[in-house]
Amino acid sequence: MVALMELYEKEDEVYRELVLAATKFFQFLLTPLRNKREHATSRRLNILKSLDNDNLGPQRVATLQMEAQMWASEAEEAVATIQDTTVDYFKETVKALTEMQKQMEADSKRFGQAAWASATPRLENLKLMVAKETLQLMRAKELCLNHKKAAIERKMEDLPGQDKKNICIIDELEIQCYEIQLEIYEIKFEILKNEEILLITKLDSVKRLIKEKQDEVVYYDTCESPEEIQGLSCHVAAQDVEIAEMRALSLRRRQLEKKRGKISAKRAQLRNKTDQCKANHHLRLQQAEKSVRHLHEHHSIQMKRDKIKEEEQKKKEWVNQERQKTLRRLRAYKEVSSTNNHLNFFLSQTDTHRNPGPRASVDDDQPRSLMCVSPPEGSMDEVLASLRHDRTRLQKTENRSALSPSRASVNEDILMAIRQGVKLKKVPQNPGSGPSTRPASDLERSIKAALQRIKQVSADSEEDSDEQNHDQWNH
């Protein structure tokens, strides 16, 4: 046990060196962060003073406000990093002390109560140190969580509540706040737990001292001289001191028990707050899940509607495209048809002027009348007689059946209008205006009668003369 106590002393010395080295290291890490925080805070304060005191234009004011916000963000970032670094420091110290405590508790099982009594104060001291360092760690974590919670609350305040999208974001941020608050409550439970450990450790120490005081036994011998009686009075005075110490220890014990009762009450209140926070968090999660489900349903319905609208729009576009294609084809067909009909008509008119004769013209709708040469002096019978005996031949004259330029141009306009789709009005015919109803002249009646007679007289000569006349007109 003596060797173990020497080992414990060396272990305490190593722990003190560890704490010193860790403190220097983390101070080295924290120095630039603190400088950054101080610099950012100083710049921000200077900018705010300039905004309050100087007469600046709106553009300069806006620029300075942006710079102040930037420096405020830099300071907050530095503070958050300092808090995280502090948490890391206390994690290391708590880890070292916890290992020392576990090792000492394991060593206590190898010794009896009487032998271990000399090491009990160190174990109690280790418990106190572990509880204190754990409290520091929990408070540092609480600061970090409070900083995160404040940042989320600022985000919620900066968002406008009119837009539905921003309302959804606010709900999400609220859920995050509940989650962080639950973590804070868990840390508060740990803080109360370690505070109670401190009180219990101190209370056990007081009870142990009281028990030691009570276990002390004073043996008195018979007095044989006045000096011994005087010494006995001194011993009685020492006993009075011990009684006063016992009273102080008892008072200390009552105070610690009272504080422990307060911690129990705080734990009960904290448990109620935690249950309420969990209920609100669960409710908000259900509402968020319901909102998300409703949003998905609405989104799916909207997607179907958008898909139907898109298909209808595509269908309309396809119909319009096909209609445009059809119209373009029809327009092109009309242009080509109109153009072809107008060259064809020109060629037909050219052929008709070049080859005049009794044949039908290119335009079958316009009949041509056969024009004959004016007979010489004498009757028609003499002409027929001369034809029979081949004494004279009909002279080829210029085709007068060709339309005059003015009438041809009118007919061309009429045909062009018909090709372009212009509908012609039906004009009622006056009786006697057409060639069929027009009264025949004497010459016409004579020709008809002569031809009829020719047919009746000789059919053979008629066929020969028709062939000769046909060849003459074609050549």
Splitting the chain (475 residues) into consecutive groups of 10 residues, what average pLDDT does each group show?
Answer: 91 92 92 93 92 86 91 91 92 93 91 86 91 92 90 77 63 84 91 90 86 66 55 61 80 88 89 87 82 74 84 88 85 77 55 48 40 46 54 47 50 68 57 48 54 52 48 43
Among residues 132, 138, 26, the alpha carbon closest in space to that of 82 is found at 26
Pick left, alpha or beta for residue 289 (phi over 0 → left; psi -120 to 50 → alpha; otherwise beta): alpha
Dig out the tokens for 1 from the structure: 């046990």
Q: Are 180 and 152 in contact (CB under 8 A)?
A: yes
Say whether both 119 and 208 belong to one domain. Answer: no
Listed residues 110, 129, 158: the one ending a domain: 158
Say whether both 127 and 46 belong to one domain. Answer: yes
For residue 117, give every residue at least 6 positions away whose Cβ sits within 8 Å of its Cβ, in sequence order, or none: none
Say whether both 57 and 95 belong to one domain. Answer: yes
Say whether both 5 and 58 belong to one domain. Answer: yes
Listed residues 158, 175, 208: the one ending a domain: 158
Looking at the structure of the chain, the number of domains it has is: 2
Among residues 150, 138, 223, the alpha carbon closest in space to that of 180 is found at 150
pLDDT of residue 362: 41
One-letter amino acid for residue 145 of the chain: L
Evaluate whether residue 57 is within a structural domain.
yes
Dig out the tokens for 66 from the structure: 């942006």
Distance CA 253, CA 265 (A): 18
C-beta pairs of 450-455 under 8 Å, 24+ apart in sequence:
450/380, 450/381, 450/384, 453/384, 454/384
Q: What is the CA radius of gyration of the chain?
A: 64
* Positive or negative torsion for Cα 264, 269, 270, 274: positive
Say whether both 60 and 170 belong to one domain. Answer: no
Evaluate whether residue 307 is within a structural domain.
no
Evaluate whether residue 438 is within a structural domain.
no
Dig out the tokens for 204 from the structure: 């056990």
Among residues 202, 214, 203, 208, the alpha carbon closest in space to that of 242 is found at 214
Say whether both 176 and 49 belong to one domain. Answer: no
pLDDT of residue 84: 92
Evaluate whether residue 38 is within a structural domain.
yes
Residues spanned by the domain of 43: 1-158
Q: Are 267 and 235 in contact (CB under 8 A)?
A: no
Distance of CA 353 to the CA centre of its chain: 80
Say whether both 181 and 76 belong to one domain. Answer: no
Q: How far apart are the first and last CA of the chain?
A: 155
pLDDT of residue 36: 93
Say whether both 188 and 140 belong to one domain. Answer: no
* Positive or negative torsion for Cα 136, 137, 138, 142: positive
> Exposure string (b/e) for 207-239, b if CB count within 10 Å is 16 or more?
eebbeeeeeeeeeeeeeeeeeeeeeeeeeeeee
Listed residues 158, 174, 200: the one ending a domain: 158
Say whether both 197 and 97 belong to one domain. Answer: no
Distance CA 77, CA 29 (A): 15
DSSP label at 395?
A: P
Q: Are 345 and 391 in contact (CB under 8 A)?
A: no
Compute how many other C-beta atoms are within 10 angstroms of the C-beta atom of residue 313: 10
Evaluate whether residue 103 is within a structural domain.
yes
Among residues 116, 120, 127, 176, the alpha carbon closest in space to that of 148 is found at 176
In terms of pTM, does the model score above 0.75? no
Total residues found in the chain within this entry: 475
pLDDT of residue 449: 59
Evaluate whether residue 59 is within a structural domain.
yes
pLDDT of residue 330: 82
pLDDT of residue 411: 67
pLDDT of residue 46: 92
pLDDT of residue 348: 52
Say whether both 177 and 65 belong to one domain. Answer: no
Say whether both 148 and 165 belong to one domain. Answer: no
Evaluate whether residue 300 is within a structural domain.
no
Evaluate whether residue 393 is within a structural domain.
no
Say whether both 102 and 192 belong to one domain. Answer: no
Distance CA 188, CA 16 (A): 29
